[in-house]
Amino acid sequence: MSKLRVGIIGLGGIARAHGDAIATLDNIEVVAVADLFEDKRQQFMERYAVPKGYVSHVELLQDEEVDAVAITLGHQLHHKLTVDSCNAGKHVLVEKPMAISLEQCDDMIVAAAANDVKLMIGYTQHFYGTSLKAKEILDSGELGPIITAVCYMSKNWNYKGRRPQYRSRYHGGGMWLTNGVHVVDRLTWIMASQAVSVSASIGARAHYQAGDDSATAFIRYKSGFAGVAVAVGYADGGPNYECQVICANGSLRFSQHGEKFVKVGKNEKWEDVPFEDPPAEFHNEWKAFAEAIEKDIEVPTHGEWGRHIMEILFAAEQSSILGQEIMLESGGSWSNQTSGTPIITRHGWI
């Protein structure tokens, strides 16, 4: 396969992280970008030597040289831009959260399948060097079966710098959908099971805004185990991005941000475990996306996985509103692959 030619739609801060990652891979190149603001287009094009810039995604999707797109605009736009991109025959890597309703998630999955293109959700927690090493240790069986896990993302919400749409639940904002999505994705991946129910407390406790800034969710899994996801956007404090896993024959702690480490607990002590740090945080994510397209295999964080994570998030919100545990719509049975696409065993439901 020749180079995967990518168009990036939306040139905010996260787009630069994608640009940095693509620059580390020889088999991918950014050939076009789209953004309403000319200054953003020019800055990005100069920084990454991108030859073409468009005002809107509609123009970019008409470019026959674009094989795939990265959608890095606001949460409320993920659905429309993904469906439009799939209908234009482009493979899609869309930022988290997948969408702001399950109906939108379903539309995106259907559009990708109807147009025979790959749909991958930007759940970065699957691709960090720390996460990959942690999952490798768990999959090896060295620590025995998982008993339980607790995942955190406690950080400064940066209220003054937060755009209005990210402070409004109507537009898919708030800490839970913005960053809790990472915590739930990481926890669910680590638990290696599909969720069955959730009980949560969610609210705006540190800021005046129309979206939440604090959430604690107790998630039961179909394997019979349970874990806890904590996502807090505080006004002042100390950050914590750690995931703690207790197994039958040992314990595991790992973190990518703040402190970066992987530690195994055995014989009443913790020991650091070396891990391979990629040249850019999104390097492995783009590497996996390109590999799936080239080999025509299932992408790691595919649409069905993305939908399930959103189902947990939405059920947690409902639980908080009603003050009771919520059974997921899919909780009574296992979800199964429908695409018939070959898979790799490093990610996804594994």
CA separation for the pair 57, 84 (Å, rounded): 9
In 3D space, the residue among 301, 325, 341 whose CA is nearest the CA of residue 105 turns out to be 301
What 8-state DSSP symbol labels residue 204?
A: -
| Domain boundary assignment for the chain | 4-124+282-298, 126-278+310-327
Closest by CA position to 112, among listed 73, 171, 69: 69
Residue in this structure with the two tokens 């197994």, named with its chain if needed: 247
Q: In whole angstroms, how far apart are CA 193 and each of 47, 218, 226?
A: 41, 15, 10
Level-2 CATH architecture, domain 4-124+282-298: 3-Layer(aba) Sandwich (3.40)
Tell which residue, 96, 76, 88, has the closest CA to residue 14.
Answer: 96
- My answer on whether omega of the bond before 164 falls inside 30° of 0, hence cis, is no
Return d(Cα 215, Cα 217) in angstroms, integer: 7
- CATH, domain range 126-278+310-327: 3.30.360.10
Q: What is the pTM of this model?
A: 0.97
Q: What is the pLDDT along the chain (350 residues), one digit of tens a residue?
A: 589 999 999 998 999 999 999 999 999 999 999 999 999 999 999 999 999 999 999 999 999 999 999 999 999 999 999 999 999 999 999 999 999 999 999 999 999 999 999 999 999 999 999 999 999 999 999 999 999 999 999 999 999 999 999 999 999 999 999 999 999 999 999 999 999 999 999 999 999 999 999 999 999 999 999 999 999 999 999 999 999 999 999 999 999 999 999 999 999 999 999 999 999 999 999 999 999 999 999 999 999 999 999 999 999 999 999 999 999 999 999 999 888 899 887 766 76
Comparing CA positions, the residue from 95, 258, 243, 103 lying closest to residue 181 is 95
Q: Do domains 4-124+282-298 and 126-278+310-327 have the same CATH topology?
A: no
Chain-centroid distance of CA 278 in Å reads 18
Q: Write down the pLDDT at residue 344.
A: 80
Question: How much is the pLDDT for 339?
Answer: 86
